[in-house]
Amino acid sequence: MIERLSSKSEVRAAVAAARRDGKRVGFVPTMGALHAGHLSLVQAACARTDIVVASIFVNPTQFGPGEDFDAYPRRIEADIELLAADGVEIAFTPSAAEMYGDGAAVTVEPGPLASRWEGEVRPGHFTGVATVVTKLLSVVRPDIAFFGEKDYQQLQIVKRVVADLDLGCQVVGCPTVRDEDGLALSSRNAYLTAEERHLALALPAALEAAEQAAAWGERSADVLVALMRDTVAERAGGALALDYAAVVDPETLEPLERVDHRARALIAGRLGSTRLIDNCSITVTDREPNGA
């Protein structure tokens, strides 16, 4: 049976009771409009902890002016049914007033990890994310919190916030879930027209091109980035306006010149009014470029 709680004090009390029973607490923060990607986080949480709390809160402070806060899909009743079916015991559904009172003066600045990529395109976004995640973790106090690798920069920032502020929980990143054709699941895919949905496949195709080239021994990050850009241009032409394509260090997110061991390819762009992001791990082998 799922319990739907909308106040911080109720969640604190419910989690404290579970802890008194010796249960390990898992936490999956979401903004709702749940899809199989979110549910994979719930499944990971259920497998590793004894009681799972999921939050549904469309956090206004992580949306910039002109972004899709008002349009962001909201279907809380259906979401709660999905969470219940997958074994979540507590759904935390606070209002903005419950989370922020009259508006909070203190925010969490996530530091250099937030300066590039999404942070550059969406100023203030990661301050909103870091602040709300810190607040949610302070309310729930989970043993383990689960985040998707789909938002790779967010995952790295959350890990850093938890470490630097001694929030005392483990942060687990879970693999991106994709549709059969490779498109990463995202609540924002709902905005795409059928034609845009097809053009959006340029993003996973670009990542795959970089991944393949690296697997065949290409070590120049510039070459991999050019490959990503060319793939997007070929598949989507001018319809997909790239914000960035990058090959970065997987922890610092700084751009690399050469890919000598592990790296992450990041890509983001706009199709009409919809922003999409994606990423993948890059692993190099000892082969020479072009299969020599």
Catalytic pick among 38, 125, 198, 261: 38
Q: Considering the complex, state which of residue 147 and residue 218 has its C-beta at the smaller distance from ligand PAF.
A: 147
* Residue 119 makes contact with ligand PAF by CB under 6 A: no
Question: CB 223 → ligand PAF: shortest distance, Å?
Answer: 32
Q: Considering the complex, state which of residue 72 and residue 211 has its C-beta at the smaller distance from ligand PAF.
A: 72
Binding window for ligand PAF (CB under 6 A); candidates: 25-33, 84-92, 266-274, 281-289: 25-33
125 given a catalytic annotation: no
Question: CB 9 → ligand PAF: shortest distance, Å?
Answer: 21
Question: CB 154 → ligand PAF: shortest distance, Å?
Answer: 6
* Residue 176 makes contact with ligand PAF by CB under 6 A: no
How far apart (Å, rounded) are the C-alpha atoms in residues 223 and 237? 19
Give the one residue of 11, 14, 29, 174 binding ligand PAF; rule: CB under 6 A: 29
Q: What would the x/- binding string for ligand PAF be over residues 122 to 161, using CB under 6 A?
A: -------x--xx-----------------x--x-------
Return the residue matching tokens 């990607």.
37
Furthest C-alpha separation in the chain = 64
Question: CB 172 → ligand PAF: shortest distance, Å?
Answer: 13
What is the DSSP code string of the chain? --EEE-SHHHHHHHHHHHHHTT--EEEEEE-S---HHHHHHHHHHHHH-SEEEEEE---GGGSPTTSSTTTS---HHHHHHHHHHTT--EEE---HHHHHTT--S-----GGGGTSTHHHHSTTHHHHHHHHHHHHHHHH--SEEEEEGGGHHHHHHHHHHHHHTT---EEEEEPPPB-TTSPBP-GGGGG--HHHHHHTTHHHHHHHHHHHHHHTT--BHHHHHHHHHHHHHHHHGGGEEEEEEEEE-TTT-PBPSB-SSEEEEEEEEEETTEEEEEEEEEE--SPPGGG-
What is the size of the binding site for ligand PAF (CB under 6 A)? 10
Give the one residue of 11, 26, 30, 256 binding ligand PAF; rule: CB under 6 A: 30
Binding window for ligand PAF (CB under 6 A); candidates: 26-34, 84-92, 216-224, 266-274: 26-34
Q: Considering the complex, state which of residue 140 and residue 227 has its C-beta at the smaller distance from ligand PAF.
A: 140
Q: Are 147 and 155 in contact (CB under 8 A)?
A: yes
Q: Considering the complex, state which of residue 124 and residue 255 has its C-beta at the smaller distance from ligand PAF.
A: 124
Q: Considering the complex, state which of residue 31 and residue 210 has its C-beta at the smaller distance from ligand PAF.
A: 31
Q: Considering the complex, state which of residue 151 and residue 218 has its C-beta at the smaller distance from ligand PAF.
A: 151
Q: Which of 278, 258, 182 is nearest to 217 (CA)?
A: 258
Give the one residue of 40, 49, 59, 131 binding ligand PAF; rule: CB under 6 A: 59
Q: Compute and round to an integer the Cα radius of gyration of the chain.
A: 20
By CB under 6 A, name the binding residues for ligand PAF. 29-31, 59, 62, 129, 132-133, 151, 154
Residues catalogued as catalytic: 38
